[in-house]
Amino acid sequence: MMKKSMILLLSLFLALGSIGCLGPKQMDEYGYVLSIGIDKGKQKKYLFSFMLQDTTAQSGESMDTQSPAVILGAEGDTIFESITTLVAGLPYELSLTRTNVIIVSDEVARKGEMGDLLSVAFGALYIRPSVKMIVVLGKAMELQKGLQSPNSPNLTKLLYSVMQNYQQEGIIPMMNYTLFTEAITTERFDAAMPLCRMDENIDAQQKAERKEQAGEEPSKENAGSSTEGIQRYGGMSTYAMGAALFDGKRMAGVLNGEETKYLIMARGELERAYITYSYPDGNLLAIRLTQWKKPKITMETKSLRAHVEVYLTCDIDLDTSGEAEAKWEQGTKDVLGAFIVSRLEGMFTLCQGLNSDAVGFGREASRFFIDGAKWKDYNWKARYPQLQVDFSAVLRLYDINIGEGMA
């Protein structure tokens, strides 16, 4: 009896295994969206664009990071409306489960509609909440097109570059959807998102190169734009540098790459960055900075004063005076410390002017409250413009022998 019932149970259990075979789907029956772009629409409220990895172009082959990309787009008042319009003309189903990044145009971000727009879509579309968020100065669709150069055909490259810039140069912040919702729901800090732009000169250069290769006379066209005011040659036309600062849900302004470095430093997220300092006599000092300890933030919620102390290890990579290391304790350290503090103050003044608590002083202030109702009554965002912050920097010289800083 026991054996019979076990065999019956087991066979029923095994039969369940065939359930998955009843509605099988091939890989190329799905269009996997890698990025979503959100622009302002003409007929409808928004223009949603989707960058897909083109699985149909190489069916039968393994899909790798070099797969070509396809960009689709349709206008809609919501992302659902846009998808409905799109799928009407697609031979496959759109899957958003692999979406890596959401690119929002500054026009949409400045209207403050991002939070509402995305919160509706996420649960229903199965987008991972860890998806990265980027603001583009210009059109999100154009940015996605800019990623389609033959040498770097997909978005993985851009994300890699963004991450590298964040980790190695400190010129952009990072933001994902989870942290963005935390910023807008709790109001304990404001979001700072990576800022992407297009350097149209790169396109012009590539066109000229192609003409030259084809034996034609290359035209001397110059599209007028550059990479944050500096002429760049080669690479992708899209680039990530600087931060889009938010005041709640609304994008309030931007920081350039240099200012962003100090924002990331104040937040304690800087892994490595280079700074160049010019002595009054014209000599240059290039230093590699690393943060050896998280900044110490002390705060007084009643008098609205805060003190931020950053801890940096300095590795002198270039010193045209030839005396910086020798004179480190005699003056270089103080001069450099004062320079970093002035930059931190400048960055904070910009953030405060935009009413954006991108550094996250609200997080520190909230630690003083056990009861959430009292924290809400305190109304941090209304008090933030009156906050006075002092910065200080503790610098130590990198010691090549022990690999550690030397005070």
Quote the CA–CA distance of 178 and 91 in Å, as a whole number: 33
Number of residues that make up the chain: 407
Nearer to another protein, 22 or 382 (CB): 22
Report in angstroms how near the CB of residue 371 gets to another protein at its nearest: 6
Report in angstroms how near the CB of residue 385 gets to another protein at its nearest: 21
Torsion 210-212-215-221 (CA) sign: positive
Quote the CA–CA distance of 284 and 255 in Å, as a whole number: 24
Report in angstroms how near the CB of residue 118 gets to another protein at its nearest: 13
Nearer to another protein, 185 or 276 (CB): 185
Nearer to another protein, 130 or 276 (CB): 130
Nearer to another protein, 249 or 333 (CB): 249
Q: Write the DSSP assignment of 260-318 as a string of letters.
A: HHHHHHHHT----EEEEEE-TTS-EEEEEEEEEEEEEEEEETTTTEEEEEEEEEEEEEE
- Closest among 49, 104, 271 to 172, alpha carbons compared: 271
Quote the CA–CA distance of 140 and 146 in Å, as a whole number: 10
> Cα angle at 129 between 127 and 133, to 5 degrees?
95
Nearer to another protein, 186 or 320 (CB): 186
The footprint of another protein (CB under 8 A) covers: 9, 12-13, 16, 19, 97, 126, 128-130, 163, 166-167, 174-176, 178-179, 181-182, 185-186, 188, 363-364, 366-367, 369-375
Q: Which two tokens stand for residue 406?
A: 């030397």
Nearer to another protein, 183 or 395 (CB): 183
Report in angstroms how near the CB of residue 154 gets to another protein at its nearest: 17
Report in angstroms how near the CB of residue 247 gets to another protein at its nearest: 19
Amino acid at 8: L
Report in angstroms how near the CB of residue 353 gets to another protein at its nearest: 25
